[in-house]
Amino acid sequence: MQYKKILVHICLILLISAGLGVVNNYLIVSKPLDIFSPYELKIKEVSERDFPAVDIDTLDILLQNDNVILLDARDKIDYDFSHIPKAINLPVRDFENKFSEIINFFDLANAENIVVYCSSLTCPDALMLATKLEKRGIKNVMIFKEGIMGWQQANKDTEPKND
């Protein structure tokens, strides 16, 4: 008799657990939770925007002819460690603070070619910076998608000089 009572309790617990699982599944499927961080949502929002891409050889020619303003979208610590020569640091995360001083000093509004880059093909910062620049009325923005890693893999010089 004692075993029968324990068995009934176990069955009730299993039945209640299964019922709660079904209800929980239904609620999650019918109302998906927003699990993206604000940063991830911004990446998703701007990823649909298509800016012209610049390859390594084209960027190299633009830099040799002084015919480009090159913007590094990475954080200052990464820029200080290594960046493409002639690049100006405009971290996407510090855009609002740095933009006003850079736009006037480098005349971004009238620049013929502006190229932005970040660390690699998987880094969203260049795309986010290009989008912010475009929203401020800056034209002729292109993206060097390979970033600093692609530049280094092509054995191009960086500053500080790579050994």
pLDDT tens digit sequence for 46-94:
444 678 999 999 999 999 988 899 999 999 999 999 999 999 999 998 8
**Residue 162 maps to a domain:** no
Predicted confidence at residue 158, as pLDDT, reads 93
Report CA torsion sign: 19, 23, 26, 28.
Answer: negative
Predicted confidence at residue 114, as pLDDT, reads 93
Do 48 and 21 lie in one domain? The reply is: no
- Nearest to residue 109, comparing CAs of 119, 117, 99, 118? 99
Q: Please give the C-alpha separations between residue 72 and each of 44, 69, 100, in angstroms, as whole numbers.
A: 21, 10, 16
**Residue 136 maps to a domain:** yes
Do 130 and 96 lie in one domain? The reply is: yes
**Residue 115 maps to a domain:** yes
Do 28 and 48 lie in one domain? The reply is: no
**Residue 163 maps to a domain:** no
With a cut of 90, say whether residue 28 has pLDDT above it: no
The stretch 151-159 carries a mean pLDDT of: 94
Q: What is the pLDDT of residues 85-137, one digit of tens each?
A: 999 999 998 888 888 888 778 888 788 899 999 999 888 999 999 999 999 88
Do 72 and 142 lie in one domain? The reply is: yes
First to last CA, the chain: 82
Domain containing 20 equals 2-33
- Nearest to residue 121, comparing CAs of 142, 94, 148? 148
**Is the backbone peptide bond immediately before 160 cis, with ω within 30 degrees of 0?**
yes
| Per-residue burial over 97-106, b = 16 or more CB atoms within 10 Å of its CB, e = otherwise | ebbeebbeee
Mind giving me the DSSP string for 36-84?
A: --HHHHHHHHHTT--PPB--HHHHHHHHHTT--EEEE-S-HHHHHH-B-
Work out how many domains the chain is built from and give that number: 2
**Residue 125 maps to a domain:** yes
**Residue 160 maps to a domain:** no
- Nearest to residue 90, comparing CAs of 123, 101, 81, 82? 101
**Residue 38 maps to a domain:** no
- pTM for the full predicted model: 0.69
**Residue 68 maps to a domain:** yes
Both tokens assigned to 57: 């050889």
Do 121 and 146 lie in one domain? The reply is: yes
